[in-house]
Amino acid sequence: MRTRRLIPLLALAILLAAACASASSPSSSPGTAGPARDASGGFAVGTTDAKAPAPEGVPADQGIPTLVSTTRDLIITANIAMRSNDPWASADAARQIAAGLGGEIVALSQSGTGDQRSASLTMRVPSNRVDDALNQIKKLDGEVLTSNVSAKDVTDQLVDLNARLVAKQVEEQRYVQLFAQAKTVDEMLRVDGALANVRTQIEQLQAQLKSTRDRVDFSTISMSVTPLVPAIGDPTGTWDPSRTFAKALATLGVIARGLADIAIWGLVFLWVPLLGLAFTALAVRFRRNAPAA
C-alpha cells in the first residue's frame, strides 16, 4: 500500500524537476538577434551581420571620397598648368578631348612663334565626365606643373531659389485673379503694375536657376600651356651645327652693336675731356711764361 502511494509522489517530483530545468536553460533575449538559419532550417555556420553601408560619396571598395556627389549639387572648377614641346598642339588635343566627352570650348588663346609659343583655353565638360577629362589631359605630351580642383556646394542655394520661384508663381496667380475681379480702371492699373513686377522677379529667379544648374551640370576646366625650357647647352637634345652658327652670328652682331654704340658715345662726348686738357695745358704754359715776382 505504501509503495502504491509513493509512485504518484515520485512522478510529481520528476515533473517538477523537468520544469525547473527548462526554465533555467539560457534563451535568447528579445532584443538580441539569434543565429541565422539556413534554407533547410538549421543554423548557418559562420554567418555574421551584414556590413554597414558605406558613407555617402565614398566607394565601398576604396574608401576614398569621389569628386562628383550623387546627392549634392556641386559647381566644380579645375585648373591645369603644363609645359610641352608644342603648346598649340597640346591645346588642340585638349579641345578634342572636351568635344569627345560632350563638352565645348568657351575660350582659346594661342600666341608666340617658334619655340616661344604658348596657349590657354577654357573648356566646359559634363560634370559626370570631369574626372575622365582631367585624366586624359594629364596624359598629353608634356609636363604637368600644377593641377587643382575645387567644388562649391550650391544645394541649399538651389532649394532656396526653387522655393522663392514657387512663392512668386503663386503670387502671380493671385494677382491674375485680382485683375479679373477688378471693377475700375484704377484697380486694374494697380494690379497690372504689381503683376508686372512679380513676373519680372519670376524671370530673374528662373534665369538664376538656369545659370546655376548649368554650372552644376557642366564643370569648367582652365588650362595653360607654356613651352618646355631647353636644357643649357643642349637646346633640342641633338647637336645642330647650323643652329650653333646662327647663335654665334647673333652674338657677334650684339657685340658689334655694343662697340658701335661705344664709338658713337665717344665721338659725341670726346670733346669734353679734350677741352679740359686744352685749358689745363694753357694754364700750365701761362704760369711757366709768367715773370717771376
Question: Residue type for 4, please?
Answer: R
Share of the chain above pLDDT 70, in %: 71
Single out the residue in 131, 153, 175 at which a domain terminates.
153
pLDDT in tens, 114-132: 888 899 999 999 999 999 9
Give the model's confidence band at 27: pLDDT under 50 very low, under 70 low, under 90 confident, else very high.
Answer: very low
At 273-289, the pLDDT tens digits run 777 777 787 777 777 77
142 occurs within a structural domain:
yes
Q: Is residue 286 part of a domain?
A: no
Region of poorest pLDDT, from 72-76, 137-141, 147-151, 228-232 = 228-232
Whether 137 and 164 share a structural domain? no
Q: CA-CA distance, 224 to 142, in Å (whole number)?
A: 12
Average pLDDT over residues 183-205: 91
Do 79 and 137 fall within a single domain?
yes
Same domain, 107 and 140: yes
Co-location of 149 and 203 in the same domain: no
**Are 148 and 165 in a shared domain?**
no
- pLDDT of the residue at 127: 92
Report residue 41's pLDDT band, with 50, 70 and 90 as the boundaries: very low
Which of 177, 195, 215 is where one domain is finished?
Answer: 215
pLDDT tens per residue across span 241-261: 877 888 888 888 888 888 888
Instruction: Look at residue 204 and tell me if it is in a domain.
Output: yes
* Surface-to-core class of residue 4, CB atoms within 10 Å of its CB (0-12 exposed, 13-18 middle, 19+ buried): exposed
Asked if residue 109 and residue 148 are part of one domain, the reply reads yes
Q: Is residue 274 part of a domain?
A: no
Asked if residues 205 and 168 have their Cβ atoms less than 8 Å apart, the reply is yes
110 - beta bridge partners? 119
Establish if 253 belongs to a structural domain: no
Do 84 and 120 share a domain, yes or no? yes
**Do residues 192 and 121 both lie within one domain?**
no
144 pLDDT band, cuts 50/70/90, is very high
Assigned domain for 78 exists: yes
Taking the alpha carbons at both ends of the chain, their separation in whole angstroms is: 185
pLDDT of res. 22 = 47
Sign for the CA dihedral angle at 230, 234, 236, 242 comes to positive
Residue 136 lies in a domain: yes
- Count helices and strands (H / E) in the chain: 7, 5
Structural domain ending residue among the three candidates 153, 172, 203: 153
pLDDT of residue 42: 38
pLDDT of residue 72: 86
> What value does the mean pLDDT take over residues 213-240?
77
Same domain, residue pair 162 and 210: yes
Same-domain check for residues 198 and 141: no
Residue 118 structural domain:
74-153
pLDDT by residue (tens digit) across 83-115?
998 999 999 999 999 999 999 999 999 988 888
Q: In this structure, are 147 and 84 located in the same domain?
A: yes
118 neighbors 87 (Cβ within 8 angstroms)? yes
Query: Is residue 70's pLDDT more than 80?
Result: no
Three-state SS at 142: coil
Do residues 142 and 86 both lie within one domain? Answer: yes
The label of the residue with cell 569648367 reads 220
The enclosing domain of 138 has a CATH number of 3.30.70
Burial of residue 223 (CB within 10 Å: 0-12, 13-18, 19+) is buried
Domain count of the fold of the chain: 2
Residues 6+ apart with CB under 8 A from 121: 91, 94, 95, 105, 107, 108, 109, 222, 223
Sign of the torsion angle spanned by Cα atoms 127, 131, 132, 136: positive
Cell numbers describing residue 191 = 494690379
Distances in Å between the Cα of 4 and the Cα atoms of 11, 13, 92, 249 are 12, 15, 111, 138
Q: In the structure grid, which three cell numbers stand for residue 149, read together?
A: 580642383
193, part of any domain: yes
DSSP state, residue 246 = H
User: What distance in Å separates the CA atoms of residue 173 and residue 166, rounded to the nearest whole number?
Assistant: 11
What average pLDDT is seen over the chain? 76
